[in-house]
Copies of this chain bind each other. A is one copy, B any other.
Amino acid sequence: MTQGRPMRADARRNYERLLKVAAEAFAEYGENASLDDIAKRAGVGSGTLYRHFPTRGALLEAAYVDRIEALGVRAGELAQDLPPGEALMEWLYELAVATLQVRGMKALLSSAVTDGSGAAAPPACGSVVKGAAARLVDAAQAEGTLRADVQPIEVLRLAHGVAMAAELAQGEPGEIRRYLRLLAEGLRAG
């Protein structure tokens, strides 16, 4: 649908260079890395950057799609290897770790689970995360270990909240697990 023509060779080159440099820059300087600086490092003008990625969010998303998709795949693996309740919790853990560890992912994932009506950027990658969550939540609810009155999106939001809480305890890596376990108690069926 968005494919009138294949991209011109130089355009594709620049696009990919930008993506590579952006991922490095976001990792190094966080989600507020200077965009003009990214353009400069990639050896292109800032105009080129803004044409390919109109907003910071668009670039952020494009730079991390593979990481997001890996989370989607991971959901499938966990669903196969663990009982539904445990699979969900382990996946939420890995999601929270990614949220904190990969600098710049926070903003991306957070806008993915925002009630879209008013927001600025509805990232496409949101559907991957939401889809994975929905599958794991449904399975756990069918199994009867997860209370039936919560929606997948709520679970995602709460996991994001847990990640934020853990972030406040900088330097205590075990805190994510600890807080998530407390959340799990609240989500348990019964």
A35 to B187, CA, bound (A): 43
Decide if B165 touches A118 in the complex (CB within 8 Å). no
A32 part of interface (Cβ distance < 8 Å): no
Decide if B157 touches A115 in the complex (CB within 8 Å). no
Decide if A170 touches B110 in the complex (CB within 8 Å). no
Contacts A114-B168, A168-B115 given; does A184 touch B182 at CB 8 Å: no
Partner of A115, one of B150, B172, B184: B172
Q: Hey, which chain B residues are within 8 Å of A188, CB to CB?
A: 185
Q: Hey, which chain B residues are within 8 Å of A173, CB to CB?
A: none
Q: Mark A151-182, 1 if CB is under 8 A from B, else 0.
A: 00010011011111110111110000011011
| Apart from A118-B170, A161-B164, A185-B188: 6 A-B pairs, beta carbons within 8 A | A114-B170, A157-B168, A160-B168, A181-B186, A182-B183, A185-B185
A87 part of interface (Cβ distance < 8 Å): no
Partner of A165, one of B158, B178, B184: B158
Partner of A185, one of B114, B119, B179, B186: B186
A182 to B114, CA, bound (A): 19
Q: Which of A117, A165, A181, A185 has the most CB of B within 10 A?
A: A165
Contacts A117-B170, A170-B114, A172-B115 given; does A161 touch B179 at CB 8 Å: yes
Partner of A186, one of B154, B160, B164, B184: B184
**Interface CB pairs A-B, < 8 A, 23:** A113-B168, A114-B170, A115-B169, A115-B171, A117-B170, A117-B171, A118-B171, A119-B170, A150-B182, A154-B169, A157-B165, A157-B166, A157-B169, A157-B179, A158-B161, A161-B164, A161-B166, A181-B186, A182-B183, A182-B186, A185-B185, A185-B188, A186-B186
